[in-house]
Copies of this chain bind each other. A is one copy, B any other.
């Protein structure tokens, strides 16, 4: 059985997911495309999915009989409507981050999905499919005792002028907010942000670096450095300290070279290379679940909790040093 996939939003990531489905992965075909820029949809059709139908609107695409499952890769503010429509149509839906642009909107998706009694939404937290994080989770679950602390860092070489202090939470930390929950199987109860002396390499108006301190319901303490003008590379670090030992997220595989009086290993500089393999795996997981009419992987609840937690971190940015509580409603049974 081949799953017929409709792609809403054919920008860079939508186009790339279409390529994956049609040229890399087994079990699905892109049969429908749409974009606010119709020419973009036509270009992807021409290049990647010649047999696909181009729809004028996402709503029509979702309703089409030629579509078994939906990929939402359009602008963030449109996600809520498309995901709700897919849920209403009973079609599995893969939604890129963010699930919605506000926690309230994300909650409406959770409620709608929970009301169906069935998983239909997968959120694009691709790190959960990364080989390194999966290895780390296995070790955390079996080797080092209960986790007590996490020391982490999210560093970019540099960012565009449009990158704001808040985006350090909503665009950058958001990945850590999800992955720590998954690694620890725990939720946050408070957040604190402190600002070290700013690097001179940040543009005016951007507080960089930042340190975020999180506390979980289980008492785990987490410190995350966010440093988006670190200059040296794109670098994701995560160390879990448990009762019996500690474990580190591995660096990406690289060649150790001895040259120029240095033992040296190249670091990544482009974030797009860091989790590239995990995009294939997350979509394969989506296709597999969609073949059974359901969804797997990160849930809409995960998307909602990430949004709530991120909002608390932004509040913590606005009152540096103060400890901002985080509270969640009861978790629907569907996401148990």
Contact = CB atoms under 8 A, between A and B. Distances in A.
A133 to B, nearest CB: 10
Which are the 4 A-B pairs with shortest beta-carbon distances? A197-B219, A245-B259, A196-B221, A263-B265
Interface stretch (A23-31, A111-119, A171-179, A307-315): A23-31
Interface stretch (A81-89, A95-103, A209-217): A209-217
Contacts of A23: 26-27
A276 to B, nearest CB: 11
21 contacts: A22-B26, A23-B26, A24-B284, A135-B255, A146-B197, A198-B219, A225-B241, A230-B245, A232-B262, A233-B258, A233-B261, A244-B259, A246-B257, A246-B258, A247-B257, A248-B256, A250-B256, A251-B263, A258-B267, A262-B267, A263-B267
A90 B182 CA distance: 52
Q: How large is the interface on A (under 10, 10 to 19, 20 to 34, 35 or more residues)?
A: 35 or more
B197 A218 contact: yes
A194 interface: yes
B235 A258 contact: yes
A260 interface: yes
Nearest to A244: B231
A225 B151 contact: yes
Nearest to A23: B26
Interface stretch (A58-66, A136-144, A159-167): A136-144
A220 B225 CA distance: 13
Given A148-B209, A209-B148, A132 B253 contact: yes
Contacts of A260: 232, 245
A266 interface: yes
A169 interface: no
Given A232-B244, A253-B132, A225 B259 contact: no
A22 B1 CA distance: 11
B259 A144 contact: yes
Contact of A232 (B199, B245, B323): B245
B245 A258 contact: yes
Nearest to A256: B248
Nearest to A192: B321
A253 to B, nearest CB: 5
Contact of A262 (B215, B225, B262): B262
Contacts of A223: 151, 211, 223
A13 to B, nearest CB: 19
A136 B196 contact: no
B232 A220 contact: no
A243 B196 contact: no
